[in-house]
């Protein structure tokens, strides 16, 4: 390979251009630099400002001496049948466009090879799970590839079992439960909860093909890096190694590489609310008195559903921070809010239109509960903040993550109801009031402590990252 360890270890990080994938990989790159590894982020031109903003402060911080570089490769959006400049996903991305976007990602292969051709070779590439072809591209230059698996080991292993045993074929209806076979914990699911967010059979089949490629990518790669910590899902981590046969490193929660408020508030795109303004609001609240409601970076509800959420929050009587994927000036009259809602909720509820500084909010002591869609990053960020949750999954592996939160970790209650005022009211009350909530909160606090210990010196994630770095060094000796 021609590299030597006398040269600084150098890792290329190649994130998928969507917030739920990009944010943890940028955190991961920052984490690597704290161990003296040089990091380079590979992304497309329009994502450069987001990456640059997120890593900006690593250049000035005292304890980090190694800088993060950015290398760009072009994504031919128009050639892929997408609008010009379509280089990321957000809450306005339709399912069809998302599908076209994902299936066009292989057009990045040639530009990636070109980059590898012209650049000093890194010691390895950490590539997002949706770029399986990175292995072949990098093999031409003798560069090992690691997969970044951006979902939990619980849902990944469940997926492996489902693919192998197909229990969903054995039941007679979409609502009949089946046990996930050869999987610890007697976890049940239904066909209804396996659905992809589309009723287009062609799209569904293609997504299923992609998942097959992802599994092959994991097997063929030099190993899998996960944003999780061993103590969180030990049975499933063991299962993933012993039964699924994957080599894995658990180095999370990577969001913990952001130590101060500035870093916590600047992950990915600039939040839509001034961070200080947000903190001034929340600083006036008592400990555990505010519920935070956010359904990730991609979900867009109909106005009628937003109306139900607003009414449910008001009826719950709880203080809240609610993130809505709407712009303030999108419409003159905000007819997704009940008349006079904001006036009545002044001081009691904060609506963030667009993007919230999520980790900054979750880590605040006044926040006492999290209503979440169970995207893996949000789930782990909630765990790390030591928060009980109401789980409200909407699609894909979010339903599986829900099982981990409610049935295995027992720090959340699930909500299978449609988005209706009464369901929201009840869920929020249950989260913030009563004995069950207290018990969930105390378990969640313990897990939060475990998460924080895992990433500190001597913790399991700290050791996994050490082991990974040592292995990489040995590979190049
Ligand atoms: N996020 C945020 N502000 C928001 C919504 C999301 O900072 O208003 C961040 C969140 O902290 C997490 C990521 O975006 O790191 C979302 O990833 P997740 O896997 O939870 O869900 P997805 O958006 O992929 O559905």
Place of tokens 């700290």: 462
Measured CA to CA, the distance from residue 62 to residue 57 in angstroms comes to: 10
Separation of CA 169 and ligand 1 centre (Å): 33
Give the model's pLDDT for residue 251. Answer: 98
More confident residue, 91 or 145: 145
The structure tokens listed for 437 are 């909530």
Report d(CA 78, CA 338) in Å as an integer. 41
Residue 3 belongs to a domain: no
Q: What is the pLDDT of residue 418?
A: 84
Burial (Cβ within 10 Å: 0-12, 13-18, ≥19) of residue 295: buried
Q: Per-residue confidence at 1, pLDDT binned at 50, 70, 90?
A: very low
Q: Which atom of ligand 1 is nearest to the CA of 325?
A: 8
Q: How far is the CA of 293 from the centre of ligand 1 (A)?
A: 12
Same domain for 238 and 354? no
- Asked, for residue 51, whether it belongs to a domain, the answer is yes
In a domain, 207, yes or no: yes
Residue in 10, 21, 364, 373 annotated catalytic: 21
Contact 129/217 with Cβ under 8 angstroms? yes
Atom of ligand 1 nearest to the CA of 358: 7
Q: For residue 150, report the distance from its CA to the centre of ligand 1, in Å.
A: 12
Q: Which residues pair with 101 in a beta bridge?
A: none
| Percentage with pLDDT > 70 across the chain | 93
Together in a domain, 470 and 441: no
Q: Indicate which residue's Cα is closest to atom 16 of ligand 1.
A: 20
18-32, 94-108, 237-251, 436-450: which range is least confident on average? 94-108
Considering the domain architecture, whether residues 336 and 229 belong to the same structural domain is answered as no
Atom 13 in ligand 1: which residue has the minimum CA distance? Answer: 20
Residue 122's domain comprises 10-256+455-476
Residue 104 sits in the same domain as residue 41: yes
- Does an H or E element contain 353, and which? strand 349-353
Q: Has residue 364 been placed in a domain?
A: yes
Report the side by side order of strands in the sheet with 10-14.
68-72, 38-43, 10-14, 124-128, 145-149, 224-226, 248-250
pLDDT bucket at 401, cuts 50 / 70 / 90: very high
pLDDT over 90 at 144, yes or no = yes
Check whether 114 has a pLDDT greater than 90: yes
Residues 41 and 136 occupy one common structural domain: yes
Predicted confidence at residue 58, as pLDDT, reads 73
Which residues are CB-neighbours of 474 under 8 A, at least 6 positions away? none
Claim to verify: residue 389 and residue 462 sit in the same structural domain? no
Q: At 418, which CATH number?
A: 3.40.50.2000
- The tens digit of pLDDT for each residue in 269-313 reads 899 999 999 999 999 999 999 999 999 998 889 999 999 999 999
> Is residue 211, in this structure, part of any structural domain at all?
yes
Q: Which of 18, 19, 256, 323 gets mutated to test ligand 1 (max ligand atoms within 8 A of its CB)? A: 19
440 and 472 housed in the same domain: no
Tell how far the Cα of 149 is from the centroid of ligand 1, in angstroms. Answer: 16
Lookup: tokens for 464 = 């996994």
* Closest approach atom of ligand 1 to CA 150: 19
Task: Identify the residue whose tokens are 């031409």.
Answer: 140
Q: Is 157 strand, coil or helix?
A: helix
Q: What is the mean pLDDT of residues 141-150?
A: 96
* Band (85; pLDDT cuts 50, 70, 90): confident
Structure token digits, residue 276: 């200080």
Q: How many residues does the chain have?
A: 477
pLDDT of residue 65: 53
Max Cα separation, the chain? Answer: 68
Whether omega for the bond prior to residue 36 falls within 30 degrees of 0, making it cis, is no
CB 251 within 8 A of CB 28: yes
Q: What is the pLDDT of residue 3?
A: 44
* Residue 128 annotated as catalytic: yes
Q: Is 165 exposed, middle or buried (0-12, 13-18, 19+ CB in 10 A)?
A: middle
DSSP-derived 3-state class of residue 148: strand
The pLDDT value given to residue 4: 45
Interface predicted TM-score (ipTM) of this complex, two decimals: 0.99
Looking at the predicted structure, is the pLDDT value of residue 42 above 70? yes
Q: Which residues have a Cβ under 8 Å from the Cβ of 55 and sit 6 or more positions away?
A: 26, 29, 30, 41, 68, 70
Same domain, 232 and 356: no
Q: Give residue 7's pLDDT band: very low, low, confident or very high (50, 70, 90).
A: confident
Atom number of ligand 1 nearest to Cα 267: 7
What confidence score (pLDDT) does residue 98 get? 84
Cα–Cα dist 477/468, whole Å: 14
Calpha distance 433→388 (Å, rounded):
11
Asked if the model's pLDDT at residue 199 lies above 60, the reply is: no
Report which ligand 1 atom has the smallest distance to the Cα of 379. Answer: 20
Instruction: Identify whether 121 is a catalytic site residue.
Output: no
Cα–Cα distances (Å) from 137 to 1, 35, 110, 244, in that order, read 15, 27, 8, 25
Tokens of 263: 């870093």
Q: What share of the chain is helix, strand, coil (3-state, %, to 5)?
A: 45, 15, 40
Span 27-31, average pLDDT: 96
- What is d(CA 271, CA 141) in angstroms, rounded to the nearest whole number? 39
Q: Tell me the per-residue pLDDT of 335-355, one tens digit each, with 9 for 90 and over.
A: 899 999 999 999 999 999 999
For residue 47, is it within any domain?
A: yes
Distance 357 CA to ligand 1 centre (A): 9
Helices (H), 294-420: 303-316, 341-344, 358-362, 376-384, 398-403
Predicted local distance difference test score (pLDDT) of residue 299: 85
* Residue 66, pLDDT score: 66
Tokens of 54: 């997120």
Among 15, 151, 372, 375, name the best residue to mutate to test ligand 1's pocket (greatest count of ligand atoms within 8 A of Cβ). Answer: 375
Q: Which atom of ligand 1 is nearest to the CA of 268?
A: 7
* Six-digit token string for 393: 């999954």
Tally of domains within the chain: 2
In the block, residue with structure tokens 């952001």: 258
Mean pLDDT of 408-414: 95
193 and 67 share one domain = yes
Q: Please name the residues in contact with 234: beta carbons below 8 A apart, sequence gap of 6 or more.
A: none
Domain identity same for 288 and 238: no
pTM of the entire predicted model: 0.94
Q: Are residues 149 and 292 in the same domain?
A: no
Q: Give, for ligand 1, the residue of 28, 226, 358, 404 to mutate: max count of ligand atoms closer than 8 Å to Cβ.
A: 358
Residues near 343 by Cβ (< 8 Å), separated by ≥ 6?
none
pLDDT at 370: 98
Question: Over 80: is that where the pLDDT of 390 sits?
Answer: yes
Please tell me the predicted confidence (pLDDT) of residue 417.
Answer: 78
In a domain, 381, yes or no: yes
Residue 43 banded pLDDT, cuts 50, 70, 90: very high
Catalytic residue among 10, 27, 123, 128: 128
Q: Considering the domain boundaries, does residue 1 fall inside one?
A: no
Tell me how far the alpha carbon of residue 271 lies from the centroid of ligand 1, in angstroms.
11
**How far, in Å, from the CA of 48 to the mean position of ligand 1?**
19
**What is the chain's mean pLDDT, rounded?**
91
The pLDDT confidence band at residue 6, using thresholds 50, 70 and 90, is: low
Q: What percent of the chain has pLDDT over 90?
A: 73
What residue ranges line ligand 1, CB within 6 angstroms? 19-20, 23, 267, 294, 296-298, 323, 355-356, 358-359, 375-378, 381
Are 472 and 440 in a shared domain? no
**Backbone phi, psi, residue 465, to 5°:** -65, -40
Residue 117's H or E segment, with its range, is helix 109-118
């Amino acid at each position: 390979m021609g590299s030597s360890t006398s040269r600084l270890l150098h890792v290329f990080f190649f994130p998928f251009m969507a917030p739920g994938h990009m944010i943890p990989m940028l955190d991961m790159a920052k984490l690597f630099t704290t161990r003296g590894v040089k990091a380079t982020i590979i992304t497309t031109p329009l994502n450069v400002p987001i990456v640059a903003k997120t890593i900006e402060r690593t250049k000035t911080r005292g304890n980090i001496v190694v800088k993060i570089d950015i290398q760009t490769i072009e994504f031919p959006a128009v050639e892929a049948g997408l609008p010009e400049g379509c280089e990321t996903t957000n809450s306005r991305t339709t399912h069809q466009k998302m599908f076209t976007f994902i299936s066009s990602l292989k057009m990045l292969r040639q530009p990636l090879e070109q980059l590898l051709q012209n650049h000093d070779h890194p010691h390895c590439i950490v590539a997002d799970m949706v770029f399986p072809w990175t292995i072949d591209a990098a093999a031409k230059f003798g560069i090992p590839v690691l997969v970044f698996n951006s979902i939990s080991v619980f849902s990944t292993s469940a997926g492996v079992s489902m693919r192998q045993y197909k229990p969903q074929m054995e039941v007679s209806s979409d609502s009949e439960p089946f046990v996930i076979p050869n999987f610890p914990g007697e976890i049940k699911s239904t066909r209804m909860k396996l659905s992809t967010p589309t009723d287009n059979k062609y799209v569904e089949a293609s997504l299923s093909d992609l998942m097959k490629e992802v599994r092959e990518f994991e097997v063929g790669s030099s190993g899998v890096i996960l944003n999780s910590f061993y103590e969180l899902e030990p049975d499933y981590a063991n299962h993933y190694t012993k039964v699924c046969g994957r080599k894995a490193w658990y180095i999370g929660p990577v969001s913990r590489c952001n130590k101060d408020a500035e870093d916590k508030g600047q992950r990915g795109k600039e939040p839509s609310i001034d961070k200080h303004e947000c903190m001034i609001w929340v600083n006036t609240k008592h400990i555990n008195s505010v519920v935070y409601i956010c359904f990730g970076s991609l979900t867009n509800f109909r106005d009628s559903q937003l109306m139900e959420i607003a009414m449910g929050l008001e009826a719950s009587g709880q203080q809240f921070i609610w993130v809505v994927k709407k712009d303030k000036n999108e419409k003159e009259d905000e007819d997704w809010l009940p008349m006079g809602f904001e006036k009545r909720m002044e001081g009691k509820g904060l609506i963030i239109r667009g993007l919230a500084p999520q980790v900054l909010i979750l880590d605040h002591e006044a926040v006492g509960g999290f209503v979440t869609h169970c995207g893996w990053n949000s789930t782990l960020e909630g765990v790390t903040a030591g928060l009980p949750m109401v789980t409200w999954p909407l699609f894909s592996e979010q339903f599986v993550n829900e099982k981990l939160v409610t049935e295995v970790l027992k720090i959340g209650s699930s909500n299978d109801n449609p988005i209706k005022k009464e369901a929201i009211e009840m869920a929020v009350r249950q989260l913030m009031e009563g004995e069950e909530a207290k018990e969930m909160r105390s378990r969640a606090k313990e897990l939060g402590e475990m998460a924080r210990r895992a990433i500190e010196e001597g913790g399991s994630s700290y050791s996994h990252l050490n082991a990974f770095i040592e292995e990489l060094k040995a590979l190049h000796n």
